[in-house]
A = this chain, B = another copy of it.
Amino acid sequence: MSHSESTPVTAADKTFLQLRKNIVEGVISAGSKLSETELSTKYAVSRAVIREAINRLETCRLVERKANIGARVVALTADGLLELYQIRESLEGMAARLAATHMSDEEIAELKDLLTQHFEEVKDGHSYYQEAGDVDFHYRIIIGSKNKQLISLLVDGIYHLVRMYRVQLGMAGPRVTTAFGEHQQIVQAIVNRDPELAEMLMRRHILYSKNNIQSKLQILNPTHKRRTS
């Protein structure tokens, strides 16, 4: 429930964070088995700690466990990524709707600042925007929804999953140039305190990202028959 990522205090915490990092960044490849004994020797902790860490990874939906068989990193499917984007479309759309009502004027001002800052960097040709900037933008709107359970769902769970999928399927960051304009529109809707529009724009924004990814996937793997949303 802690999306605040406080400093790890327990061995299981540290092991969990390391494992999550390695999984999300692809050091531990998707679909691979997580052997408790193996990991316990590798990380020099007891099996109990490893089990605890694996349980938390399961909470994030990054691994799946079967009784008496073991834990595996989730299998990566193109369909899986598209499913995630459908969930994001729905949930972040709601987040934007709520943010338009619940964000304080101060938060909105900071959001605008963030966007102009990104604009400077994009203008100078920096690619910084690609990953961290986009995540930060969406993150603030999610926080702005003020719905704790929604925040936890997205920040603690879905976002790590999306990152993993993107890394492992070789999807680069989101579309840089066009996405920026969409972000601007969304912020404007929030500034105007227009929940309906904010939601609609956010949903379209994520839908476009999904379509973009989908077309890339079809190029990489053309045997799949198209699965219209």
Please give the residue numbers on chain A whose beta carbons come within 8 Å of chain B beta carbons, in ascending order. Answer: 1, 9-10, 13, 48, 51-52, 55-56, 58-59, 61, 64, 67-68, 80, 83-84, 86-87, 89-91, 93-94, 98, 101, 147-150, 152-153, 228-229
Which residue in B56, B64, B67, B101 is a CB contact (below 8 Å) of A10? B67
Q: Do the beta carbons of B83 and A87 come within 8 Å of each other?
A: no
Question: 28 interchain pairs (CB within 8 A)?
Answer: A1-B58, A1-B64, A10-B68, A13-B67, A48-B48, A52-B55, A55-B55, A55-B56, A58-B59, A61-B149, A80-B148, A83-B147, A83-B148, A83-B149, A83-B150, A86-B94, A86-B98, A86-B147, A86-B150, A87-B91, A87-B149, A87-B153, A89-B94, A90-B90, A90-B91, A90-B94, A98-B229, A101-B228
11 additional A-B residue pairs with CB within 8 Å, beyond A58-B59, A83-B147, A90-B90: A1-B58, A1-B61, A1-B64, A10-B67, A10-B68, A51-B52, A52-B55, A80-B148, A86-B94, A90-B94, A101-B228
Q: Do the beta carbons of B1 and A87 come within 8 Å of each other?
A: no
From A150, which residue of chain B is reached at the shortest CB distance?
Answer: B87
Number of copies: 2
